[in-house]
């Protein structure tokens, strides 16, 4: 038998490992590209997908004094309704007077204690008073005074003076101020015409110095007939407000004496005298939280020393920024005003849900803000979601979504996405159709998996913060 020399063959294992490595790298690149395209494609153009379980609390900063360039405001939020939940959730914002702030990750209907401090170079230089607010809430103001250790330089304190009540002819306003802790007030401005709204300005204040400022209403003879509460403020300060309640009483209107006169036949043209404008107390509602179904706000009034409240305004819409007015007030009379959120029950009775603070004010008056924290928490809907695929045309189904109505709901929010929690396919808010199921027409691609969920609100044309958390997600696919 002849023997032949054996020539070494190329390494099969080596080539196999090279091929396997190339395929793994190619798969990783493809996976990365797919993830990037999905993330970019599922970004919501209008509503945030996560906002269903979040509710915004927002407002502005009123910062008085000299603000260091590096200063920031640190807000801390705690759960007001649970004494055992003491975890503080901090967020920070630039320290800018009239700057805006917002806190997310707030559950609709929950009440929170918000505390704020201004920090510069790692040190806390100012602390605001805490505020208690129910989510969702807007237009909340957090006020700071930043005093300086060595006040120096000129600064301005300015703002508006509101006079509520009867203003007699010839009345004037005097603005007085004093350094905090001093005994005597000095005159800042005098002989300002007494009008319902008057601008004030103190241009000789010292930057970083804290003052107490009051407004005094004087009649034409110089007698004091009203005074504001003291405003504690650090210069510079802008957009401040002093409110004076006038104690003046309008003169009694004498009963006219009727004297017979002869009647002539001469016709004379005359301009009719317009009817007098009734005295009015008006304002707006600062509504925080969720309004329950079948609810309204009722404004009650009583004369300052009376025993019983009376209805001043009924059926005020429970929404933030709603305005109201009462024309039954008497000029020069002091009233206690209170607002109550009421819900009509199935038996026709009313249940009090939330009450504002009582405010004392003289008529006429305007710009009275009544704050209500509703404390209502909406639960997520648990009804079923059904997809009707309809007919297929060119790879697209002209489908319809159907989901169960919620008792008392007036608005619905439906999201459909190509991934769980996304809304890149359908994202719409609509009012109720008053049927047992709500519907929406949606087009679907053949063979693609979709994910749907919905939320509800108890008012018509509801905004995003008024909605409940979203329902559980339902997955479906239209295929042929």
Residue 92 is part of a domain; what is its CATH number? 2.60.40.2990
Q: Which two tokens stand for residue 345?
A: 């029950």
Determine the pLDDT at residue 465: 65
How far apart CA 414 and CA 426 sit, in angstroms, is 7
Q: Is residue 281 part of a domain?
A: no
Q: Is residue 462 part of a domain?
A: yes
Q: Taking a C-beta distance cutoff of 8 angstroms, is the pair 160, 197 a contact? A: yes
User: Do residue 351 and residue 405 come from a single domain?
Assistant: no
Higher pLDDT, 257 or 338: 338
Q: Of 146, 173, 206, which residue is a domain's last?
A: 146
* CATH code for the domain in which residue 418 is found: 2.60.40.10
Task: Look at residue 103 and tell me whether its pLDDT is greater than 90.
Answer: no
pLDDT digits (tens, 9 = 90+) for 191-234: 999 999 999 988 889 999 999 999 999 999 999 999 999 999 99
User: Do residue 193 and residue 115 come from a single domain?
Assistant: no
Task: Look at residue 466 and tell me whether its pLDDT is greater than 80.
Answer: no
Determine the pLDDT at residue 449: 95
User: Do residue 356 and residue 330 come from a single domain?
Assistant: yes
- Least trusted range by pLDDT, from 30-44, 137-151, 154-168, 390-404: 30-44
| Distances 326 to 20, 162, 243, 313, 314 between C-alpha atoms, Å | 82, 18, 19, 6, 10
Q: Is residue 380 part of a domain?
A: no
Q: Is residue 109 part of a domain?
A: yes
User: Do residue 166 and residue 207 come from a single domain?
Assistant: yes
Q: Taking a C-beta distance cutoff of 8 angstroms, is the pair 225, 246 a contact? A: yes
How far apart CA 367 and CA 361 sit, in angstroms, is 11
Question: Could you count the other beta carbons within 10 Å of the beta carbon of residue 365?
Answer: 25
Q: Of 373, 402, 419, which residue is a domain's last?
A: 373
The DSSP annotation for 59-128 comes to: EEEEEEEPPPTT-EEEEEEEETT-TT----EEEEEE--TT-EEEE-S--TT-EEEEEEEEEETTEEEEEP
pLDDT digits (tens, 9 = 90+) for 268-298: 555 555 555 566 899 999 998 888 878 899 9
For the chain, how many structural domains are there in total?
4
Determine the pLDDT at residue 161: 94
Q: Of 340, 373, 406, which residue is a domain's last?
A: 373
How far apart CA 32 and CA 192 sit, in angstroms, is 70
User: Do residue 141 and residue 57 come from a single domain?
Assistant: yes
User: Do residue 142 and residue 219 come from a single domain?
Assistant: no
User: Do residue 163 and residue 91 come from a single domain?
Assistant: no
User: Do residue 68 and residue 100 come from a single domain?
Assistant: yes
Tokens 């054996």 label which residue?
A: 6
Range of the domain at 352: 293-373
Q: Is residue 260 part of a domain?
A: no
User: Do residue 137 and residue 61 come from a single domain?
Assistant: yes
Q: Is residue 3 part of a domain?
A: no
User: Do residue 411 and residue 471 come from a single domain?
Assistant: yes
Q: Taking a C-beta distance cutoff of 8 angstroms, is the pair 254, 339 a contact? A: no
User: Do residue 55 and residue 127 come from a single domain?
Assistant: yes
User: Do residue 171 and residue 234 come from a single domain?
Assistant: yes
């Amino acid at each position: 038998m002849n023997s032949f020399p054996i020539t070494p063959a190329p390494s099969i294992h080596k080539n196999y490992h090279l091929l396997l490595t190339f395929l793994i790298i190619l798969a990783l690149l493809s996976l990365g590209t797919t993830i990037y395209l999905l993330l970019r494609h599922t970004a919501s153009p209008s509503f945030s997908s996560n906002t269903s379980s979040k509710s915004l609390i927002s407002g502005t900063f009123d910062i008085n004094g000299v603000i260091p360039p590096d200063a920031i405001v640190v807000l801390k939020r705690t759960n007001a309704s649970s004494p055992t939940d003491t975890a503080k959730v901090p967020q920070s914002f630039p320290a800018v007077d009239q700057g805006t702030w917002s806190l997310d990750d707030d559950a609709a209907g929950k009440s929170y204690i918000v505390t704020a401090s201004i920090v510069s170079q790692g040190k806390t230089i100012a602390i605001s008073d805490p505020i208690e607010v129910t989510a969702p809430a807007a237009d909340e103001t957090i006020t700071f005074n930043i005093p300086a250790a060595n006040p120096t330089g000129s600064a301005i304190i300015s703002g508006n003076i509101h006079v509520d009540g009867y203003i007699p002819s010839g009345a004037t306003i005097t603005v007085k101020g004093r350094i905090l802790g001093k005994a005597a007030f000095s005159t800042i401005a005098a002989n300002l015409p007494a009008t319902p709204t008057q601008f004030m300005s103190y241009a000789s204040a010292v930057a970083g110095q804290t003052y107490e400022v009051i407004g005094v209403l004087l009649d034409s003879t110089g007698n004091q007939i009203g005074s504001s509460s003291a405003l504690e403020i650090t210069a510079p300060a802008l957009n401040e407000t002093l409110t004076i309640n006038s104690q003046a009483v309008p003169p009694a209107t004498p009963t006219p004496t009727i004297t017979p006169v002869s009647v002539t036949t001469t016709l004379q043209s005359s301009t009719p005298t317009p009817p007098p404008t009734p005295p009015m107390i008006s304002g707006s509602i600062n509504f925080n939280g969720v309004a329950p179904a079948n609810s309204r706000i009722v404004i009650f009034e009583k004369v300052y020393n009376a025993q019983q409240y009376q209805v001043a305004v009924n059926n005020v819409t429970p929404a933030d920024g709603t305005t109201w007015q009462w024309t039954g007030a008497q000029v020069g009379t002091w009233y206690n005003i209170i607002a109550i959120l009421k819900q009509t029950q199935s038996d026709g009775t009313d249940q009090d849900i939330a009450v504002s603070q009582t405010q004392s004010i003289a008529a006429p008056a305007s710009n009275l803000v009544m704050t209500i924290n509703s404390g209502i928490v909406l639960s997520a809907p648990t009804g079923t979601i059904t997809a009707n695929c309809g007919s297929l045309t060119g790879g697209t189904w002209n489908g319809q979504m159907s989901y169960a109505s919620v008792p008392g709901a007036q608005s619905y929010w439906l999201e459909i996405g190509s991934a769980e929690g996304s809304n890149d396919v359908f994202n719409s808010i609509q009012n109720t159709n008053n049927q047992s199921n709500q519907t929406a027409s949606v087009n679907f691609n053949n063979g693609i998996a979709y994910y749907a969920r919905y939320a509800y609100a108890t008012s018509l044309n509801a905004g995003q913060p008024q909605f409940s958390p979203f329902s559980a997600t339902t997955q479906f696919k239209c295929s042929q």
